[in-house]
Amino acid sequence: MKNAKIPKGIKIKSVLVFIFIFLVINGFIHMQFLNQKNAEKLKAAYTAESTVERIEAQLNKYFSKSDLLKKIVESGHELGEVEFDKLSGFLQDDEVVIEAIELAQDGVVSQVYPLDGNEEAIGLDMLENSARKTEARLAMNSEKYTIAGPYELVQGGTGALLFDPIYTTGETGEKNFWGFSILVINWEEFIDDIQLEALEDAAYHYRIWKMDMSTGEKLSIAECGSAIADDALEVVCDVPNDNWHFEIVPAGGWISNSDILFGSVASIVFSLLVTVVYWQFEMRRYKEAVYTAGIKKAAREAKSANEAKTRFLFNMSHDIRTPLNAVIGFADLLKEHLDDRAKVEDYVDKIRASGSMLLSIINHVLEMARIESGKTALNENVTCINDIADSLQAVFEPSVHEKELICNINCNVTHEYVICDETKVREIFLNIIGNSVKYTPKGGRVRVDIVETDTDIKDYASFRIVISDTGIGMSKEYLPHIFEEFTREHSTTEAKVDGTGLGLPIVKALLDLMKGTIDVKSEPGKGTTTIINLSFPVATKEQIKDGNEQKRENLINSLKGKRLLLAEDNDLNAEIAMTILNENGIEVERAEDGRICVDMLKAAREDYYDGILMDIQMPNMNGYDATEEIRKLRGRRGIIPIIAMTANAFEEDRKKAFVCGMNAHIVKPIDVGVMLSTLGKFIV
């Protein structure tokens, strides 16, 4: 062993250990970085919100001064030049942030204080000037205080205009637009007044911007001297008729480069140490592994045997249901029609046929161990193809009737009697037709055609079996895997059909044993067509006679990290919905009624929730009213996707949901596939 070559497996495992430890440590460090980032964001959010509060407080102070002038005009008092100058001088602040005060009757500036230096503003029509008309008209139409700018003023310098629309009351009580009370803000003094330089002193980069109402582009209001990172924290500052967006990020980023470098080096060093220890450990036990190979082989064989037993149990659960359903179904019908002899005899025959097939399935499942071990053999006897077709019709009749399917089994053969393993042939039919029935929606169609085809082999009959349905179908990506054990394209939850994924692998194994072929064609939503080709020896008259004297045996895997607001007053319904969503990686917060839902949406930051699942019938405020109130909100809150999730299932309920502003309508009880599909369309 001294000069033995190091096994390739140990090398690969050592590399995998290094990768695994490296990923684990990096994951831990990443979590620490996330915690650090979250802590920094909390600090930044507090700083940003404090700044926003100062901005809003300053704007409110200016608004109160403008409002005094506005109320005097609205009272009908005419301000002469002297009186206007005295009042404006009183209103002008000591810091000279308010650079000028203007009155613009009918939108045209007619009075300015101080006039000295502001002569260019006299006669300026705010409703027609290209740089001012958008905000001026917005203020006039909304009757709300509106801020325009910052931009170059006609009297020189950079400033913002605070439009305060003035409406007077006519003799008949109607409201008439008089004009504007306008405050001209010295922008540089305003920025100094809100102390933005303190942010840079605190090692923050910042930017304040808004959407230009004329061009729709971002307009920078104030920013630091350095470029701001893309992952900056954003806080919205509500101003009348507009939103200002305040972005802030630490000067060194949420996580410093030195921290990142240290974390990477630590990950590599520790991973190398663990890998060296693992390498030495594996090399020590390698020699022992050579001598214990036989024991491990025996253990693997035992494990394989246990897995085979498990597959048998799954197989029985999967395939025993169809004939058992027939037995129970016709037994119930027999009890209801005991006085109808013809029906009694018909039901008894069908129960017997289904019982025989059930026995055949059990025998076949037990024999699958021999198929997988290569020790199985065909138990060939005289078999009537027409009898198989007739028994299949009886076995599937209850399921077909329950789902209101159209099922036709057509048998057109010349040589009715052949030598084959009837149990295994029935099992092939059972699995494929059973899948067609299970995966075909209510009202669909299943068709089976058994046709004898030409063959060059003497005393043999060849059969082409075509089984087609209008079921849910399979994708072209899944088709290459249909014969792999325990594989299913649709989980039980998605397809609403029980199964283990053993049906088609069993079919393939049996067909290989019989030297037959199978071809499956399918398309999602359009159904599946299965084509099977089999050849059997034709039974002689003597074999048919002997065969008729004996009893014959008869014989299916789904947007992370999103956050939803669930409005649901019923605790059980809320628990069900939250559990389903959480299991699919979706975060959910609950509101017990529509009023709480609206309040939670308003209280959260604008981009906090990705969508709302809205119940309809709730106390305090129902889902319709809550949706209408949400749609009145400004910004992203007003356009958040809202999906009705309700027991109100009528078409008029669905229409009412869309009329009030909802995006989609899901009916209770919840269909998980429908709910996730619907969320995928709107929660992006």
pLDDT digits (tens, 9 = 90+) for 428-468: 888 888 888 888 888 899 999 999 998 888 889 999 999 99
- C-alpha–C-alpha distance, residues 317 and 331, integer Å: 21
- The band of 558, judged by pLDDT with boundaries at 50, 70 and 90, is very low
Q: At 356, is the pLDDT very low, low, confident or very high (cuts 50, 70, 90)?
A: low
Which of these, 275, 277, 266, 278, lies nearest to 25 by C-alpha position?
266
283 occurs within a structural domain: no
Distance separating alpha carbons of residues 180 and 81, to the nearest angstrom = 16
**Residue 470: band (very low, low, confident or very high) from pLDDT cuts 50, 70, 90:** very high
Alpha helix ranges (H) inside 175-236: 187-193, 197-201
Are residues 103 and 81 in contact, defined by beta-carbon separation less than 8 angstroms?
no
Taking the chain, what is the end-to-end CA distance rounded to the nearest angstrom? 60
Residues 485, 633 share a domain: no
Calculate mean pLDDT across residues 642-665.
84
- Are 345 and 487 part of one and the same domain? yes
- What single DSSP character describes residue 635? G
- Indicate if 544 and 573 belong to the same structural domain: no
Q: Is the pLDDT of residue 592 over 90?
A: yes
Q: Which of 494, 515, 548 lies at the terminal end of a domain, its last residue?
A: 548
Query: Which range (482-491, 578-587, 646-655) has the least confidence?
Result: 482-491
Residues 503 and 614 placed together within one structural domain of the fold: no
Phi, psi of 350 (to 5 degrees): -70, -35
DSSP character for 365? Answer: H
Q: Which two tokens stand for residue 604?
A: 């959260």
With a pLDDT cut of 70, the percent of the chain lying above it is 86
Quote the pLDDT of residue 502: 61
- The whole domain housing 571 covers 563-682
Half-sphere exposure of 445 toward its Cβ, with a 13 Å CA cutoff?
6
- Do residues 359 and 461 both lie within one domain? yes
C-beta separation of 563 from 610 below 8 A: yes
Confidence grade of residue 501 (pLDDT, cut at 50, 70, 90): low
68 membership: H or E segment, kind and range: helix 8-74
Residue 563 makes CB contacts below 8 A (sequence gap 6+) with 586, 587, 588, 589, 608, 609, 610
Considering the domain boundaries, does residue 14 fall inside one? no
Which range among 16-20, 286-290, 463-467, 507-511 shows the weakest confidence by mean pLDDT? 286-290
Which tokens hold the place of 355? 């019982």
Query: Is residue 54 scored above 90 in pLDDT?
Result: no
CB 537 within 8 A of CB 459: yes
Least confident of 370-379, 447-456, 458-467, 511-520: 370-379
User: 356 lies in a domain?
Assistant: yes
Predicted confidence band of residue 499 (pLDDT cuts 50, 70, 90): very low
CB atoms within 10 A of CB 366: 12
- What is the C-alpha separation between 431 and 319, in angstroms, rounded? 7
- In the prediction, which pLDDT does 460 show? 92
- Position 552 scores a pLDDT of 37
Condensed to tens digits (0 to 9), the pLDDT of residues 193-247 reads 777 777 777 788 888 888 877 777 888 877 887 777 777 888 888 777 778 888 8
pLDDT in tens, 253-282: 778 777 778 878 888 888 888 888 888 887
Model confidence pLDDT, tens digit, residues 527-546: 999 999 999 999 888 888 77
- Give phi and psi for 37, each to the nearest 5: -65, -40
441 and 319 inside one domain: yes
424 shares its domain with 537: yes
Q: pLDDT above 90 covers what percent of the chain?
A: 13
On whether both 524 and 568 belong to a single domain, the answer is: no
Domain shared by 346 and 424, yes or no? yes
Q: State how many domains the chain has.
A: 2
Within a domain: 323: yes
Q: What backbone torsions phi and psi does residue 288 show, to the nearest 5 degrees?
A: -65, -35
Residue with the bigger pLDDT between 563 and 394: it is 563
Q: Is residue 73 part of a domain?
A: no
Match 């058994």 to its residue by tokens.
450
CB atoms within 10 A of CB 195: 12
With respect to residue 526, please indicate whether it lies within any of the assigned structural domains.
Answer: yes
Residue 261 C-alpha from the chain's centroid: 36
pLDDT at 322 over 70: no
Q: Is residue 621 part of a domain?
A: yes
Helix (H) / strand (E) element for 453: namely strand 445-453
Q: What is the pLDDT of residue 626?
A: 94
pLDDT of residue 195: 76
Mean pLDDT of 574-591: 89
Render pLDDT for 612-650 as a digit per residue (tens, 0 to 9): 999 998 999 999 999 999 999 888 888 899 999 887 767
Q: Does 94 reside within a domain?
A: no
The confidence band for 402, taking pLDDT boundaries of 50, 70 and 90, is confident
Strands 218-223 and 242-250: unpaired
What is the per-residue pLDDT for 77? 81
Banded model confidence at residue 498, pLDDT cuts 50, 70, 90: very low
Domain of 619, CATH number, reads 3.40.50.2300
pLDDT at 640: 92
Could you say which of 522, 548, 574 is where a domain stops? 548
- The mean pLDDT value for 649-661 works out to 82
Distance from C-alpha of 401 to C-alpha of 198, rounded to nearest angstrom: 78
Q: Say yes or no: 373 and 346 in one domain.
A: yes
* Arithmetic mean of pLDDT over the chain: 80
Q: How far apart are CA 620 and CA 200, in angstroms?
A: 47
Q: How far apart are CA 144 and CA 137, in angstroms?
A: 10
- pLDDT bin (cut points 50, 70, 90) of residue 589 is very high
Same domain, 536 and 613: no
Peptide bond into 669 cis (omega under 30): yes
Using the predicted structure, report yes or no on whether residue 1 has a pLDDT greater than 60.
no
User: At residue 557, does pLDDT exceed 50?
Assistant: no
Of 519, 548, 577, the position where a domain reaches its end is 548
pLDDT surpasses 60 at 311: no
Instruction: Write out pLDDT tens, residues 148-206.
Output: 878 788 777 788 888 889 898 877 888 888 899 888 888 777 777 777 777 777 788 88
Question: Is 417 found in the same domain as 329?
Answer: yes
Instruction: Indicate the angle between helix axes 422-438 and 385-402, nearest 10 degrees.
Output: 20
- Here the CATH number for the domain that contains residue 339 is 3.30.565.10
